[in-house]
Amino acid sequence: MAARIIAGNWKMNGLAAALPEVAWIADAARDMTCVETVIAPPVTLLPRVAGHAGITPAAQDCHAADAGAHTGDLSAPMLAEAGARAVILGHSERRANHAESDVQVAGKVRAAWGAGLRTILCIGETEAQYRGGRTVEVLARQLAASLPEGATPANTIVAYEPVWAIGTGITPREDEIERVHRALRDRLASRFAQGGEISLLYGGSVSAENAASIFALQNVDGALVGGASLTAGKFVPIMNALAEKGAYA
């Protein structure tokens, strides 16, 4: 069975004043033995988030090289030394705003694995691709090109995030989410020896109101949450919804 994982991506949000939210999330996480809670804060807060038991600290990106003349970038070994145990890679905002290709994402994945970091690999289709019925085709291409050989449940998590659903309050229909996750599970299982056990997360306007119904779907092992992960009041109910699924799975 794939592990149940709830991950919060803070993106470019959060100063030291937000750290009490992490403490409250960590308090809740310690009681959820069947769920792993991941928080990806801005790198300025990473060492302090890493100090909370019950939370897996994650970075939001890394460079493909371990060192070099890359002003402003951070390598995977640097992030690991700062306390990260995982890293989000291939997020649609990186692909769009920084023109990251699948090949570049794959290079970052290899670098993360080399530094002992687990990768949360993001894939997702645009609204035009969704409306054109190309969702599975686009995701299959991204998964094939962005995820190198050697993926296991220990080093890889895959997050499906429809680009058009991120931060919009709109989500695909439940049958669409289930169909996509089934297709991703089949592709992972056919390609990797333990692919059937790699956790599949859904991301895109996940909230306390819709979390339970999303988590009830087959092959949805958790969620990658954006804005709702910034406060314990919004994030903990989503955590609780996944913990309840884990308890009865």
SS3 88: strand
- 7 within 8 A of 40, measured Cβ to Cβ: yes
**Euclidean distance between CA atoms 131 and 128, whole angstroms:** 5
Q: Which of 21, 36, 93, 161 is catalytic?
A: 161
91 belongs to the catalytic site: yes
SS3 201: strand
Q: What's the angle, vertex CA 28, arms to CA 244 and CA 157, rounded to 5? A: 65
Q: Is 199 annotated as a binding residue?
A: no
* Number of Cβ within a 10 Å radius of residue 197: 17
Which residue, among 206, 208, 188, 210, has the nearest Cα to 197 in the 3D structure?
188
Using CA atoms, how far residue 209 sits from 34, 90, 169, 244, in Å, is: 21, 27, 11, 15
181 belongs to the catalytic site: no
Q: Which of 91, 125, 178, 181 is catalytic?
A: 91
Q: Is 227 annotated as a binding residue?
A: yes
Q: Is 226 annotated as a binding residue?
A: yes
Q: Is 24 annotated as a binding residue?
A: no
Q: Is 164 annotated as a binding residue?
A: no
Q: Annotated catalytic sites, by residue? A: 91, 161
Binding site: residue ranges?
Answer: 9-11, 167, 205, 226-227
Residues annotated in a binding site for substrate: 9-11, 167, 205, 226-227
